[in-house]
Amino acid sequence: MDTQNENIPPSPVIGIKDKFLEQLQSDFQLLSEIVLMQTMLASRLVHDNHNEELIAQLKRNEKIIDSLDITIKEKVINAIMLFTPRASDLRRLMAYHDMTIAMERVGDLIQNISASLQEMDFSLEGIDRYKKLMDKMFTQTNQMLKNAVFAFTGGSNEMAYSTILMDDKVDKLEQKIDRKLAEDFSGAVQSTQSLINIMNLNSISYYLERIGDKAVDMAESAIYLIEGKDIRHTKGLKKKNPEKK
């Protein structure tokens, strides 16, 4: 038996590449945890929209998100240039890139939601009832984000397709808020603050719907990583779940 090759140490390039990918995974894990924290903090503003501590924490976290966004994108580019990755590694790198773009956009949307909530006065008649609808949208979009991240990090295409199917519920909640705003406040003279409330409620529901869309983008990136196919422009995708035939 030839034991000569058994004593050859592993290639240092392989070791560096593995360490590099581990650092990339760690950075993305931190990014996803902070973004999920942001959705939770923003949801608390619905019931305490002038909480200075919450607002300050949201701003601090947004700076971390922006920094991680730059770091991860740079690492993806460096990995492609340095290691000439094989197909499976290249798919993972591109998936990290796409996931990071979506996460950073979610962070921006959360900041928009925070700003809109701070402008609102929930003491005005007819506004407080919308808190429950916003809570439902936050719960749904947060679950979609969690599922998309799990699908990506855990390699679960079933969870990815499930995330995509959940998007219809978020769309319907946005439509319900828009419809109720039209029913509750049309045909009557509104105060300046009431108009501000209406516009911000409309904006918040739109931003939350967009977060749902970003979760779908992440789920599609997970499917690309797991299955090696791009389904972003597949018609009728929301009706498709390969685990349920």
> Which DSSP category does 156 fall into?
-
Query: Which residue, among 64, 239, 32, 1, has the nearest Cα to 153 in the 3D structure?
Result: 32
- pLDDT score, position 140: 96
**In the chain, where the domains are located:** 13-239
- pLDDT score, position 14: 59
Residue 33 buriedness (CB in 10 A; 0-12 / 13-18 / 19+): exposed
- pLDDT score, position 242: 44
Per CATH, the homologous superfamily of domain 13-239 is Phosphate transport system protein phou homolog 2; domain 2 (1.20.58.220)
- pLDDT score, position 109: 98
Residue 230 and residue 104: Cα distance in Å, rounded? 21
> Which DSSP category does 206 fall into?
H
Neighbouring CB atoms inside 10 A of 84's CB total 11
Reduced to 3 states, what is the DSSP secondary structure of residue 51?
coil
Residue 31 and residue 65: Cα distance in Å, rounded? 6
Looking at every residue in the chain, the average pLDDT score rounds to 88
Query: Which residue, among 195, 199, 243, has the nearest Cα to 223 in the 3D structure?
Result: 243
Residue 238 and residue 234: Cα distance in Å, rounded? 9
**105 vs 99, 193, 213, CA distance in Å?**
10, 29, 11
∠245-217-44 over CA atoms, to 5°?
105
* Residues in the chain where the model's pLDDT stays below 70: 1-14, 233-245
Answer for the pair 46, 40: CB distance below 8 angstroms, yes or no. no
